[in-house]
Amino acid sequence: MNKKNGLRILLSVFLVAALFSGCAGMAAKPTEQNFKAPVITLDNMEVAHAFGYWYFSNKVEPTKGKPDNVGAPLDLAFTFNLENPNPFPVQLENLKFSVLFEDFELNTVSTNATQWIPPGATNQVLVHAHFDVRQSLLSLLVTGGFKLKEKGTNAWAALEKWWTGIPNYEIPVTVSSGAAVFKAGDMVKVATFEATFP
């Protein structure tokens, strides 16, 4: 009976210690001084779905459904390595980045899917970026007019080049202004990243 009570007390002490430490077995506690920003690198960019290059204005009668201004979609998938150099686990809270075709920014993508990265480990995160000819056309027309003119091209020519070239990995796709928010305890660290593929 005494032995049993002794064991209970011992077990309780362990429980208290575990609660105090925040996580049993944690080797180090995160502090402002020792919390290093995780390292993010682009592992791969894959053309997840390509549908060729086409565009229909709303004057064209579709076989089914209502006419609209529609263009070919393009789905790119970016795989990033998230390397945690810390001796404690960190949580990815959010990751965002912009995507440029050549040097035209056409998308800003983000994911709020959280994940824990163990100490010293490298996880991966896959983020899809959706584009379509109509959306990118408007973006280029409203914002890129001067720049396209300077380059001696126009929106349509640029779109055709990208939609036919990117599925063959012939056009450089740049990840820019990347920022990922990591948490450890109450601390927040933001890691930045840039990359071009291929």
Binding site for another protein (CB under 8 A): 2, 5-6, 8-9, 12-13, 15-16, 19-20, 94, 96, 98, 105-110, 112, 130-132, 134-136, 138-139, 141-143, 145-146, 149, 176-179, 181, 188, 190, 192-194
19 or 28: CB nearest another protein: 19
User: What SS3 string covers 126-185?
Assistant: EEEEEEEHHHHHHHHHHHCHHHHHHCCCCHHHHHHHHHHHHHHCCCCEEEEEEEEEEEEC
Q: How far is the CB of 138 from another protein (least distance, A)?
A: 4
> Which among 192, 182, 43, 37 has a CA at the least distance from the CA of 126?
43
15 or 121: CB nearest another protein: 15
Q: How far is the CB of 46 from another protein (least distance, A)?
A: 19
Count, in order, helices (H) and strands (E) of the chain. 4, 10
Distance CA 101, CA 90 (A): 32
Q: How far is the CB of 42 from another protein (least distance, A)?
A: 14
Q: At what angle do helices 155-165 and 133-143 cross, to 10 degrees?
A: 140
Q: How far is the CB of 187 from another protein (least distance, A)?
A: 12
44 or 143: CB nearest another protein: 143
Distance CA 42, CA 22 (A): 32
Q: How far is the CB of 144 from another protein (least distance, A)?
A: 8
Distance CA 29, CA 88 (A): 7
119 or 139: CB nearest another protein: 139
45 or 180: CB nearest another protein: 180
